[in-house]
Structure 1
């Protein structure tokens, strides 16, 4: 494990060196760079991560480390038995783990969580997707278009915070998804191939139900039954970065990230990890269980304290500590995705 951690640190060092060469400089005091530039910083795993978001920690239905943050349902019994991947009898634990990083930017090939690197692929794919969506001149209800990137980032496994590796994702840092090369992310009609049911939820009644999801997600947990809603952010459909009603950078950037998480579940690239069904192994989840995730903003301003620092999908963005961005067109935002994990630990 020490060799893997050393390799990880060396990898971060190489990325930092690349960023210092390729990325434009970020202005002092965290001020954003110009609208055509990519801004951001590397995530410091010590100072930029809300470690209180890992709780509550449960054993069966018993909270052995309580928290003010709402938790999903856990198995009733503290003892569990599994036949795969290794036959075992263990303890049914539940905790929240930081597992993914998400970039959201109006500029193609901009990587805020990699220090603000902006790549030039040498061909026009993804270009021309710039947005007028970041709030401009105080106006609201504008459209927005975003690109997103999805990183493998199993932080607890790297730092050996929890020693039972059957419960943790044993993988290395990687860029797992880039919207610039995904034609389904660029076009609403192509996106309907993944979500043909979207036509069923365009009615006023269906959209009005999202207000209940907004209240529920802000107070405690989102309503998983209203899977077409992203609570206070709007509709989960279409599953791409085209936001039809942008009322601010925090709202629309977060919606783009939440849609991308749903999209990856629909494609079988993200699986279910919470509840009794997940004790022995992950399972396919084509309909997103929104309560399984929390989102913490890490760029441009890390949110590391307070109840809203890692709020669930669909929660309001107007509460303190829910996020802070600069009112500049084309701001680049980064999120750390927390995932609920129920596991049968040896």
Structure 2
């Protein structure tokens, strides 16, 4: 609980430093703090498994867990433990059309004094002779180890033991602003521009909505669009919820590609996290926290690429709908020693 109080102190400092209306831009930033009691879908922790056995089931699909309940980690003398699997709230993601807007920090709008990241609004583009909506978004990533803060289980090494922090701000990243520069970290993008590669994403859409995304189709974000480029430009903007979820999913993939996020699922992760430059989409669920928290139902924390037809209803507003926040749930397979 002490760590959570420290987090509140940091938030209070940010509010004090909030720019005055005279300096703030005309576009208002909307958002609210994530209440760990009322704004978190606690049922998203489940299913909970020991080895291949689910001891706390859930209506939500789960990834494959190691079959053997016994594990061993360490050297030269390994320690014996129990292989467990659970879903951990680990990161917060902002997605907004307004640069320097932080929805998950209560709608704080900073004024850095320069225009980096500014001027990105929705527009229209020509694709295949037809006009379609496009949009440009900024995103921010927060380290948010909620289970460790609340000290739900003390001395439980499987929880990420860190403090709240703003880990990434795309307004300061030139690769996020320019798709040509983005190709530096995703040069393979040219391989997945063919009609066949794009059509394959339909299967990923179905599987993501029905159960879990297809990791082999790593260039697809299911029903939300394509993973590439790894920036905030959405060429096919259908709805605000769809576009913002796509950007949040790209943000997670970008963190993996830049070795700022690691693999935490499967037998390989029992003893330590591992490098995962091509993100396994099944490792994550996304729960909306802003503008409206989704805390119940099967689609409260849907897998990457799942259809937004059901959960989008009433989740975006005509005025406040351009500022979104998401809580990232990460699958953990861990050897509990």
Task: Tell me which interval the TM-score lies in, with the shorter structure as reference length.
Answer: over 0.9
**Local SS of the residue matching 1:81:** strand
Greater CA drift, 8-17 or 68-77: 8-17
Residue 70 of structure 1 and its aligned partner are, at CA, apart by 0.3
Match of 2:40 in 1: 49
RMSD, aligned α-carbons = 2.2
SS at the partner of 2:302?
strand
Give the structure 1 partner of residue 278 of structure 2.
287
Shift of 1:141: 3.1
Q: Secondary structure at the match of 1:317?
A: coil
Query: Are the aligned partners of 1:303 and 1:323 in contact in 2 as well (CA < 8 Å)?
Result: no
State the match for 2:18 in structure 1.
22
CA contact (8 A) 2:3 2:150 kept: no
State which of 60, 64, 69 in structure 1 corresponds to 2:60: 69
- 2:223 aligns with 232
Relative to the length of structure 2, the TM-score reads 0.92
Q: Distance in 1 between matches of 2:158 and 2:174?
A: 34
In structure 2, the residue corresponding to 1:200 is in which secondary structure? helix
Note the C-alpha offset of 1:123. Answer: 2.0
The correspondence of residues 179-218 of structure 1 with structure 2, limited to 5 A, is: 179-218=170-209
How many angstroms apart in 2 are the aligned matches of 1:265 and 1:9?
30
Task: Report the Cα offset of residue 93 of structure 1.
Answer: 0.2
Quote the offset at 1:14 in angstroms.
4.4
1:63-212 superposed matches below 5 A: 63-83=54-74, 87-132=78-123, 141-212=132-203
1:20 Cα shift? Answer: 6.9
Q: Does 1:246 align with 2:237?
A: yes
Q: TM-score normalised to the size of structure 1?
A: 0.90
Aligned to 1:256, what secondary structure does the other structure show? helix
| Matching residue of 1:12 | 8
What is the rounded CA distance, in whole Å, between the counterparts of 1:341 and 1:132 in structure 2?
Answer: 39
SS of structure 1 residue aligned to 2:219: coil
1:266 corresponding residue in structure 2: 257
The answer to whether the Cα contact below 8 Å between 1:164 and 1:345 also exists between their aligned partners in 2 is no
Question: What per-residue deviation string (whole Å, max 9, x for no partner) do you get for residues 151-177 of structure 1?
Answer: 000001111223443211110000000
Q: Supply the distance in 1 between the matched residues of 2:258 and 2:95 (Cα, whole angstroms).
A: 20
C-alpha distance in 2 between matches for 1:21 and 1:306? 38
CA-CA distance at 1:88 after TM superposition: 1.7
CA contact (8 A) 2:101 2:108 kept: yes
Matches within 5 A, 1:298-309: 298-309=289-300
Deviation at residue 15 of structure 1 after TM alignment: 1.3
- Which runs of 5 or more residues in structure 2 are unaligned? 125-130
Q: Is the 8 A contact 2:100 2:110 kept in 1?
A: yes
2:211 is matched with 220
Aligned equivalents of 2:121, 2:334: Cα separation in 1: 42
TM-superposed CA distance for 1:13, in Å, is: 3.8
1:316 matches 2:312: no
Task: Provide the secondary structure at the position in 2 that maps to 1:12.
Answer: helix
SS of residue matched to 1:245: coil
| Alignment CA distance shift 1:105-1:282 (3 Å) | same
TM superposition shift of 1:321:
6.8
Alignment gaps of 5+ in structure 1? 26-33, 134-139
